[in-house]
Amino acid sequence: MNTQLRGTSLREDDIRTGKALVTEWHPKIDYQFDAGTAVGQFLDGLKAGKIMGRQCDVCGRIVIPPRMFCEKCFRRNDRWVELKHTGRINTFSVSFVNWDASRRTTPQVPAVIDIDGTNPSMGILHLLGEVGQTLEEVLRRVRIGMAVEAVWKPAEQREGAITDIMYFRPVGG
Amino acid sequence: MAGKVAIVGAGYTSLRAVSPEASFRELVFEAATRAYQEAGITPADIDSVVALGEDYREGTCICDEYVPDQLGAVQKPVHTVTGDGVQGVGMAWMLLQSGVADIVVLEGHSKASNIRHPAHVEAMALDPTYVRPHGWNPLFVAGLEMRRFLHDSGVTARQAAQVAVKNKRNALANPLAAYPAEVTVEQVLNSQPLAEPLTELAVAPPADGAFVFVLANAAGRKKCRGRPVYVEAVTWISETCNLPTRDWGRAVYTERAAARAYEMAGLKNPAEELDFVEVDDAYTYKELQHLEALGLTARGQSGQMLERGTFDLGGQLPVNPSGGSLGCGHLHDASALRALWEAVCQLRGEAGRRQVPKARRGLVCSWRGVPTATGGVAILSRR
Amino acid sequence: MRKVAVLGAGLTRFMRRSLETGRELCWEAAAAALQDAGLTLADIDCVVLGTAPDAFDGVHLKGEYLLDGAGGKGKPYVRVYVGGGTGVFMVPAGWWHIASGAFNTCLIVAEEKMSPTQPHPQGAFNAIYDQFTERPLGVNLLWIFSLEMHRYMQTYGIPLETIAKVAVKNKKNAKDHPASQVAGDFTVEQIVNSEVMAYPVMRLMVSPVTDGAAAMVLASEEFAKRKGGKHVWVEGVGWNLDTSYWTNRDLAYPQYVENAARMAYKMARIKDPRKEIHVVEPYDPFAYKELHHLEGLQLADKGQAPRRLEEGFWDRDTTTGIPSSPSGGLLGVGNPIAAAGLMKAIEIYYQLSGKAGARQIRRNAKRGLAQAWGDLMQVGTVMIMGVER
């Protein structure tokens, strides 16, 4: 194996000081996504303060996020089912990093929350709130398997978005 | 080797300018349901899936993530190809010949309507150092190419415009088509100038829709019903998309792909041996450029042959009986799947008013669009 | 099913940011692979390119842009895409080009240029999530890894210190890899006490953003035999994609890796992988992933890969275990996503042909496996190589 591999390493400074030639491009990349039937009605449900799932009569599953077809049975599924506003934490994280890799002083606490009423128990991604402002606090307060409940925006502020639920908090405060 | 792979199921959705009531998942589910029903299979029979996808057209990073569910292909060998429908057929063909799969599903879709500023997305495909800084609408690449092609071939702007007239008229007989219309050469020439000599009606407008195919080798066909349409040849070639070093007048990628495809299919005189062809017509002149590259016309004769009616639905060699992208709508990489679907319909005798009489063998010629010089050729037949 | 041989391989250095453009990186790796194989581009029938998201290079239709550097001009050229699984997936893709009888030689090239994305390449990953149910939450790539890692740790009671040992092992192994970017001697304490990114993920448990490329030349049996010499053969390939509804799945176990591995084992006629696989390169973008994947690959029981790690079973110099990531992996060499996966496959090729230099394992390896993973904790890609036995 050739131990002299090619490649010229640059440092961040080389770019900042213009030692390396750089061209910039700021794209205007916007999309308007068609929510379609399943997600469209799910979002309508959120606006009305409801968490909706879909049921397939062949396998019996009640799924969230909802889809108009059962991907296991490969058939159109059968009905909307209103789910509970509570669930259990499947897993969670305590994040001190923003999407652009910059640091946060207070954490975001994303979690997969298994929603009560789904069958078999299955989850959605959301955030936990009212669980602490430091890593230690959050790790003291939150447990995998813990019961949580949705905290909603007031009805007049809801838009039909996943953020109509602000976060989930431990049941019992 | 040739003729062992067949298309046994072909599913579709209708094509239209916007499709707000259905997510891309729901469109693909509809097309897949049709394809599997026709082929007489359930997802359990699927050995592998090939999907077409480009991140910036999906609006999703790593778009291959969202392929399996609506195809019933969860936990199967599924992969995505950032390529056109003919390249997709090529991958399926190789999977079926390699022994690793007997039944392969091929999927492609377009949600072009969801892209708010298409020119900005397509400009991202231009070279970031040498070309993008000009800030031109990427259509200029097609404009430059058209100018050179007209110059080299002797084809006139009127003749190119005739392509739009023919294809939009053909689309009137295609229930799938998004933009069927009766237009005149004058209307095409006088429509809004874009990247001269291209005018608005000379450019295929975008559409939404989905296609799903079921392909099988000899072993796989035992599990399927449905009339097989055989893939006698499939090839694909890429030339450089680098603007300064490309051949502007000729579709070299098509010339090379066609030569190999004709050899694979054992065709010595393709103009005689083919009953119809579906060639990419993202822009009017591309149809003629591709026909010349396929060797189906004498050099520089494509314009005259078009005027004489050779390529009309009732002519000697119908070109784009489906209506092409100009009549059906441009689906980006999935346009070649729309062409493939037409070929299957024709060869099964199910093309209604568009039916080419006694269609036995057809050809699909694809192109990935500006700024690429990539395309493929597939030859299909009924035996 | 035609047999497919590996004729040569090449790599660039792996760097945080390279002066070279994506095309130039492709060219360096492809040229090195051709030279290693003793061939020229004229000998190559077809080219397959692999690269992860277009957003990194900032070029749409990235495959088209890169083809000049990858040797694709005028050839049947195609780009395949399975996210992070792409690097190892290049081998199955090249394999079917030849095994199908369509072509006799194939050049596979994997490139990644992550550094162009501003303000940080990590931001490109926001769009991997569902646009309606996830992106509006202000998602971030680290979330999905930390959620999975936490579930895995919790399910099997794995301490952070044990997971840290994967990073220690790989960063040390990588000291002997000429391409490496982040090699070095680290202690468990240093890893565990490094900056919290998204608990339980610590900074030193994460592979770095990297630019780099890798390439390999594959050929049919007839072509390889004409060239002469002993060859390394592609004996099994497998790939598998799970549901995009990742929050509905049990994140503690990568079922899709098991499925991909079984597909490859079946093709390679391997009944007892723990006996028949002598060296393994599991995908290690995060320290815990190596363990997670070793279990999916059936090389350890569920939840038991960490204990094996503590026993030294995965060490490079083991004679009784299975050396895992002798290259130094993504944690040690770097993570130019698609190129990193192919680097792992190339390591298996080097180990089996005795070309791994200071990294050569002590065990006599006749068969090895490389695996990559990607998407929303969703795809497993596997390749198995072997020498004549």
A68 interaction partners in chain B (CB closer than 8 Å): 26, 29
Inspect the interface and report whether the beta carbons of C256 and B372 lie closer than 8 Å. Answer: no
Q: Do B155 and B267 fall within a single domain?
A: yes
Fold (topology level) of C4-118+208-387 = Peroxisomal Thiolase; Chain A, domain 1 (3.40.47)
Q: Is the per-residue pLDDT at B2 higher than 80? A: no
Whether B31 shows a pLDDT value over 60: the answer reads yes
Q: Binning pLDDT at 50, 70 and 90, where does residue B227 land?
A: confident
Largest pairwise CA distance in chain C: 58
Q: Is residue A77 part of a domain?
A: yes
- Residue C354 CB coordination number (10 Å): 12
pLDDT of residue B383: 78
State the average pLDDT over residues C26-54: 97
Q: C339 pLDDT band (50/70/90 cuts)? A: very high
Of C21, C19, C47, C20, give the one whose Cα is nearest residue C33: C47
Chains in contact with C via at least 3 Cβ–Cβ pairs below 8 Å:
A, B
In a domain, A18, yes or no: no
H or E segment and range at residue B101: none
Q: How far apart are CA B223 and CA C315, in angstroms?
A: 48
Of B56, B80, B100, the CB nearest to C82: B80
- pLDDT at residue C88 greater than cutoff 90: yes
pLDDT single digits (tens) B104-127: 999 999 999 999 999 999 999 999
How distant is the Cα of C178 from the closest Cα of chain A, in angstroms? 6
CA–CA distance, C379 with C283 (Å, rounded to integer): 12
Backbone angles phi, psi at A29, to 5 degrees: -110, 95
Closest C-alpha to B43, from B243, B212, B185:
B212
On whether both B218 and B240 belong to a single domain, the answer is no
Measured distance CA(C50)–CA(C83) in Å, rounded: 9
CATH number reported for the structural domain that contains residue B286 in this entry: 3.40.47.10
Helix (H) or strand (E) run with residue B23 in it: none
In whole numbers, what is the pLDDT of chain C averaged over residues?
A: 96
Average pLDDT over residues B195-213: 97
Domain residues for A46? 36-170
Phi then psi for A124, rounded to 5 degrees? -125, 160
Calculate what percentage of chain B has a pLDDT beyond 90: 96
B180 and B94 housed in the same domain: no
Q: Dump pLDDT digits (tens) for B346-368.
A: 999 999 999 999 999 999 999 99
Q: Based on C-alpha coordinates, what's the Rg of chain A? A: 22
**Facing B74 at nearest CB: one of A25, A38, A71:** A71
Domains of chain C, residue spans: 4-118+208-387
| CB atoms B100 and C96 under 8 Å | yes
Beta bridge partners of B12: B211
As averages over each run of 10 residues, the pLDDT of chain A (173 residues) reads 81 90 90 97 98 98 97 97 98 95 95 96 97 97 97 98 98 79
Provide the pLDDT for residue A67.
97
Structurally, chain B folds into a number of domains equal to 2
For residue A3, what pLDDT is reported?
65
> Which residues lie across from A102 on neighbouring strands?
none
- Confirm whether A153 is domain-assigned: yes
Interface of B with A in 67-106 (CB under 8 A): 68-70, 72, 74
Q: Which residues pair with A159 in a beta bridge?
A: none
**Which among C140, C138, C134, C159 is positioned nearest to C149, based on CA atoms?**
C159
Q: Which tokens sit at C258?
A: 């098991």
Backbone angles phi, psi at C278, to 5 degrees: -100, -15
Taking CA atoms, A153 is separated from A126, B289, C134, C141, in Å, by 14, 59, 17, 26
Interface of A with C in 7-36 (CB under 8 A): 7-12, 15, 20, 25, 27, 31, 33, 35
Question: Nearest-CA neighbor of C11 among C180, C215, C182?
Answer: C215
Report the gap between the CA of A161 and the closest CA in chain B (Å): 16
Closest residue, chain C, to A42 (C-alpha): C133
Asked if B61 lies within 8 A of C80 by C-beta distance, the reply is: no
Residue type, B300: G
Best CA proximity match to C19, nearest among B117, B113, A15:
A15
Output the CA torsion C255→C260→C261→C264 (10° steps). Answer: 160
Contacts of C353 (CB under 8 A, 6+ apart): C230, C232, C387
Does the distance separating the beta carbons of C196 and A135 come in below 8 Å? yes
Q: Are residues B215 and B175 in the same domain?
A: no
pLDDT in tens, B319-349: 999 999 999 999 999 999 999 999 999 999 9
- The single-letter code of the amino acid at B79 is H
Report which of B134, B50, B124 is spatially closest to residue B93, judged by C-alpha positions: B50
H helix or E strand, kind and range, residue B260: helix B252-265
Judge whether A17 lies within some domain.
no
Which subunits sit against A, judged by 3+ Cβ pairs under 8 A? B, C
| pLDDT of residue C38 exceeding 90 | yes
pLDDT of residue A173: 61
Neighbour-count burial for A41-75, b at 16+ CB within 10 Å, e otherwise: bbbebbeeeebbbbbbeeeebbbbbbbbbbbbbbb
Across the A:C interface, residue pairs with CB atoms under 8 Å apart total 177
The tens digit of pLDDT for each residue in B244-289 reads 889 999 999 999 999 999 999 999 999 999 999 999 999 999 999 9
At residue C1, the pLDDT reads: 76
Q: Which residues on chain B are in Cβ contact (under 8 Å) with C236?
A: none
> Residue C122: its chain A contacts at CB < 8 A?
97, 99-101
Asked if residue B163 and residue B102 are part of one domain, the reply reads no
Which residue range(s) make up the domain with B224? Answer: 5-116+207-229
Shortest distance, CA B136 to any CA of chain C (angstroms) = 16
pLDDT, mean of residues B93-106:
97
C203 Cβ contact partners less than 8 Å away, ≥ 6 residues apart: C194, C195, C196, C197
Answer yes or no: do B236 and B97 share one domain: no
Would you call B75 and C81 a contact, using CB atoms and an 8 Å cutoff? no
Which 182-201 residues of chain C touch chain A by CB within 8 A? 195-201
**Is A102 within the bounds of a domain?**
yes
Any domain includes B126: no
The pLDDT confidence band at residue C344, using thresholds 50, 70 and 90, is very high
Cis peptide bond N-terminal to C208, omega within 30: no
DSSP B73-88: -TTB-EEEESS-HHHH
- Same domain assignment for residues B176 and B214: no
Checking if the pLDDT of C119 tops 90, the result is no
Hey, which residues 133-172 in chain C have their CB within 8 Å of chain A?
Answer: 133-134, 136-143, 146-148, 150-151, 154
Q: Does A64 reside within a domain?
A: yes
Angstroms from B350 CA to nearest CA on chain A: 27
C238/B94 Cβ within 8 A: no
Amino acid at C96: W
In a domain? residue A53: yes
Q: Count A/B contacts: CB-CB distance under 8 Å.
A: 76
The model's pLDDT over C175-210, given as tens digits with 9 standing for 90+, comes to 999 999 889 999 999 999 999 999 999 999 999 999
Q: Chain B contacts of A33, Cβ < 8 Å? A: 23, 59, 111, 114
Check if the beta carbon of residue C257 is closer than 8 Å to that of residue C38: no
A129 located within any domain: yes
d(CA C320, CA C310): 14
**B43/A34 Cβ within 8 A:** no
> Three-state DSSP class for B249?
coil
Element (H or E) spanning B5, and its range? strand B5-12
- Which residues from A are below 8 Å from B121, CB to CB? 27, 29
For residue B97, the model assigns a pLDDT of 97
Domain count, chain A: 1
